[in-house]
Chain A
């Protein structure tokens, strides 16, 4: 019993991090229909900014996180205006080339300024304590991750269901051309969605740094993982991303508990089978 609970708790914590980083990617890939390989770079940038602020300038964690998210959103807006706006119009292959080029440049820049070793993040002392759950202890920061993940989910739900912007966004995801013809300012919707996605990636990157340590090659190292979450969840679906993240987190964790040795094989075979049966993911619409 405690084994099952352990799998659930560890899997959910892992899944929440995947969710926070990937949901922005899912929205942008579903909305703009672009193959965006550069998404992990925003998580890296967020982590790098917090690293700089907390370890080299002794800023506290929370303000540093806020600054990092703000900085990443700013960079994302700039990039959207200058580069991505053009990239939307490319063929899929052109998008692959352009976004991977952006990833390379970001990696090279971080590598140049901060080196290729792990960039630790100075978290509050409280994060490194453990909480007793009765059947086992849980690191406090995982609790933070789980709560933040739920907050992000709730916030996105409110945004999508309760605001005018959410209506525009859903309309644009469903049918771009029709949305535009109804007078929705789609370039603006794209810009905001892109910025939100990048900001969430930064939050996820920073909070998830204990599990997926920040280093220059972060966007390439975890690119496949994020893409798997998005494709299993279904492009453009927030709830799909959520269930996929949690499901994959639990699947991967269960593999580690129960099938060490062949856990990795089990994980990838499961994904291949799932996508073969449901090519549009759990919640995706037919492409």
Chain B
């Protein structure tokens, strides 16, 4: 197997591109790995549009370098495709930063590559705490489930909830949410009556909702993947009269802006604990939402958009601080603080996930007839509580 010749060539070309880092102005390429096709294409779409907005607002220069984004579709949770895409981006395109990562396996699959190539990977969404343990080059601008479920439990316990049923989709993120919520809720003196796990593919939730109704709980805490499942679950919640029976709803991403209008008026009043609402009251968020409307009419900002927007903010700051030196850039990112459309955020130096506010929100109908999440309470500066290095 005479592969040495090629290895030499590649090393030579790599060295050549390294040499060019010394030069002043350079194009720093960012490879965005996400889902642009298939049933989960919404992730890639939101990422890309938010990146467009950031670039339109801040230009394509950072620290004297030109930033260029290259998009790779992996078509859903697909570790093989994700790793191959990352390899292609690193080897052929010479990207200095990886970004995107909507699903956990897609992020974990590139962990060894980020370590070998010393390339930072900014996670725009994937929310399992343990991802960041796999590589020191992971930085997360989204959230983790514990980060949301724990404040939700504290808030519920303080605000009159005594008996809770948890109803989550039966897969890792759902179970993370269930574990974090029930532990915290019980510590705060509440009672978890039942922990219901619902099959991931199910869209008929009547049986589960009926069991929640019969349980005698006053609140149901839920976590489901955004899409048909959240749509059908919130419908089932209303139509089977849980609201009427006085069982309050406490969720997370169920009222995501991209599916909120599809839920219709019956979503009004649903309470969720989450880190971003496109109705967040700040100048920065208003300009972000307005620019998105201008560039992509009909699109709504959601947690994926803000994850990507902040991810790009982070990349720009890292490039400013360290150019294309990955290890230095990660060091520079630790402890960075900035204003995000969701509120103040800080890159936790230990967990490398953003510390952020978690908001309690209620769905309301705006003057324009659109539904939105109105924030009414804030749990400030929550770190990733689930991270254990």
Contact = CB atoms under 8 A, between A and B. Distances in A.
Interface of A: 6-7, 10, 13-14, 111, 115-120, 122, 128, 130, 136-142, 210-213, 215-217, 220-221, 252-253, 256-257, 260-261, 263-264
A10 B262 contact: no
Interface in B45-66: 45
A139 B170 contact: no
9 contacts: A130-B240, A130-B241, A136-B210, A136-B213, A210-B239, A211-B232, A213-B232, A217-B38, A257-B210
B76 to A, nearest CB: 10
Interface stretch (B196-204, B332-340, B354-362): B196-204
B207 A253 contact: yes
Contacts of A6: 207, 210
Contact of B197 (A10, A136, A257, A260): A260
A197 to B, nearest CB: 23
Interface residues of B, number: 39
B231 A213 contact: yes
Contacts of B235: 210
Nearest 4 CB-CB pairings of A with B = A139-B239, A120-B262, A256-B207, A217-B39
B258 A117 contact: yes
B259 interface: yes
A13 B240 CA distance: 14
Nearest to A119: B262
B158 interface: no
B264 interface: yes
A212 B231 CA distance: 10
A118 B228 contact: yes
A256 B262 contact: no
B13 interface: no
Contacts of B386: none
A130 B197 contact: no
A10 B239 CA distance: 13
Interface string B179-209: 0000000000000000011110111101110
Nearest to A123: B264
A253 B206 CA distance: 9
B94 interface: no
Contact of A256 (B42, B45, B202, B264): B202
B207 A130 contact: no
Interface in B207-233: 207-208, 210-211, 213, 227-228, 231-232
Nearest to A139: B239
Given A6-B207, A253-B204, A118 B259 contact: yes
B305 to A, nearest CB: 14
Contacts of B17: none
Contacts of B258: 117
Contacts of B207: 6-7, 10, 253, 256-257
B21 interface: no
A116 B203 contact: no
Contacts of B211: 257
A212 B238 CA distance: 17
A256 B208 contact: yes
A261 B211 CA distance: 14
Contact of B238 (A118, A128, A256, A261): A128
B206 A10 contact: yes
A213 B201 contact: no
A264 B239 CA distance: 24
B259 A117 contact: yes
Given A120-B261, A261-B197, A212 B203 contact: yes
Contacts of A220: 39
Given A130-B241, A212-B203, A256-B202, A117 B42 contact: yes
Interface string B32-49: 000000111110010000
B172 interface: no
A35 B170 CA distance: 33
B282 interface: no
Nearest to A141: B239
Nearest to B299: A115
A260 B41 contact: no
Contacts of B232: 210-211, 213
**Most B CB atoms within 10 A — which of A115, A212, A215, A260?**
A260
A139 B242 CA distance: 11
Nearest to B194: A260
Contacts of A212: 203, 228
Contacts of A119: 262
A53 B151 CA distance: 42
A32 B198 CA distance: 39
B196 A260 contact: yes
Contacts of A137: 240-241
A128 B128 CA distance: 36
Contacts of B201: 264
B262 A117 contact: yes
Given A118-B262, A221-B228, 8 more contacts: A128-B239, A136-B210, A138-B240, A141-B239, A216-B39, A256-B199, A260-B196, A261-B170
